[in-house]
């Protein structure tokens, strides 16, 4: 099954064209990286797929799990039901800092329970167990009753992922989920997303600013430049030359250098012999 189909998608903000006739198909269970320089259209594309932003009125169609989410700038009347299948993770976590972590995770149920229960914060014992299990899966079961504001950035992002598990979404959209994290926390977050994709077969689309994470975690990468898809293929096929062209002057901060051949180790006596031969030739 095709989990996400984007057809002829365009989006303008005033005179600025953010996306230009984008066509993408992502199969169910895939884990795909979305890369590109700042202003390339990554976040706009993610928001439109999530139904949080409309495409232009004269172009564009988004299908989720075979159903039309929006077309020609208009959301389908059943868009709310389709959004239940889409979990979204943002760079800034979107947790309510004064509430316990468990309550934040339980908000993933709001689209699936009666509105009055969500408003009053009335969750069943089974739902609370589900949330605790989700926190265990992302590796932070011990923080359930802490205020969300007391967590580190990496812990907050993992709590946000736990919220999508409780939501029981079939598609996970992560918009630069590790951009503000240190390398150790970033690896933990990406490990969690990769494990959920592998075990639960949740379709994952991860917008990344750090190219090496795309190479390491995502079999497929889609690259945008000025709102146009300029690469769609295996992540291992991304060459450093292409990435330098894609990112321009900022590429040195995003791309690891080409691997160097390891230096040949010499025994101390070999070092001495080489030095003596060099002196003798002078």
- pLDDT tops 50 at residue 262: no
Closest-CA residue to 40 (of 238, 228, 174, 254): 228
Cα-Cα end-to-end distance for the chain: 72
Q: What is the mean pLDDT of the chain?
A: 87
Banded model confidence at residue 246, pLDDT cuts 50, 70, 90? confident
- pLDDT tops 60 at residue 204: yes
- How many residues are there in the chain? 282
Residues 185, 160, 195, 39: is their CA dihedral positive or negative? Answer: negative
Please write down the HEC assignment for all residues of 195-250.
Answer: HHHHHHCCEEEEECCCHHHHHHHCCEEEEEECCEEEEEEEHHHCCHHHHHHHHHHH
Q: Which residues, at least 6 apart from 27, have a Cβ–Cβ distance to it below 8 Å?
A: 1, 2, 3, 203
Q: Which residues, at least 6 apart from 42, have a Cβ–Cβ distance to it below 8 Å?
A: 34, 35, 36, 175, 176, 207, 224
* Pairing verdict, β 16-27 and 2-13: antiparallel
- Ordered domains of the chain (ranges, CATH): 1-78+171-180+190-248 (3.40.50.300), 94-168 (no CATH)
Predicted TM-score of the model (pTM): 0.84
- Of 130 and 80, more confident: 130
Q: Check residue 121 and give its pLDDT.
A: 81
For the ranges 30-44, 214-228, 254-268, the lowest mean pLDDT is seen at 254-268
Q: Check residue 255 and give its pLDDT.
A: 58
- pLDDT tops 70 at residue 62: yes
Banded model confidence at residue 114, pLDDT cuts 50, 70, 90? confident
Q: Check residue 180 and give its pLDDT.
A: 85
Please answer whether residues 5 and 173 qualify as being in contact, where contact means their C-beta atoms are separated by less than 8 angstroms: no
- pLDDT tops 80 at residue 95: yes
């Amino acid at each position: 099954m095709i989990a996400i189909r984007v057809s002829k998608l365009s989006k303008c903000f005033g005179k600025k064209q953010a996306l230009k006739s984008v066509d993408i198909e992502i199969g169910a269970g895939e884990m795909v990286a979305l890369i590109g320089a700042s202003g390339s259209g990554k976040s706009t594309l993610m928001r439109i797929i999530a139904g949080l932003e409309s495409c232009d009125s004269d172009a564009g169609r988004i299908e989720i799990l075979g159903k039309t989410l929006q077309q020609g700038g208009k959301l389908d009347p059943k868009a709310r039901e389709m959004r239940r299948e889409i979990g979204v993770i943002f760079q800034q976590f979107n947790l309510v800092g004064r509430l316990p972590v468990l309550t934040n995770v339980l908000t993933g149920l709001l689209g699936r329970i009666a509105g009055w229960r969500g408003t009053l914060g009335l969750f069943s014992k089974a739902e609370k167990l589900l949330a605790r299990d989700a926190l265990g899966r992302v590796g932070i079961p011990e923080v359930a009753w802490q205020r969300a504001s007391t967590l580190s950035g990496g812990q907050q992002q993992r709590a946000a992922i736990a919220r999508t598990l409780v939501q029981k979404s079939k598609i996970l959209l992560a918009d630069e989920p590790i951009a503000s994290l240190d390398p150790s926390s970033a690896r933990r977050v990406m490990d969690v997303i990769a494990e959920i994709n592998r075990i639960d077969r949740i379709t994952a689309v991860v917008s990344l600013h750090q190219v090496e994470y795309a190479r390491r975690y995502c079999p497929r990468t889609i690259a945008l430049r000025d709102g146009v898809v300029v690469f769609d293929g295996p992540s291992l096929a991304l060459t450093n030359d292409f990435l330098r062209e894609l990112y321009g002057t900022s590429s040195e901060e995003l791309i690891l250098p080409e691997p160097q051949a390891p230096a040949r180790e010499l025994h101390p006596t070999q070092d001495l012999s080489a030095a003596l031969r060099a002196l003798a030739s002078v």
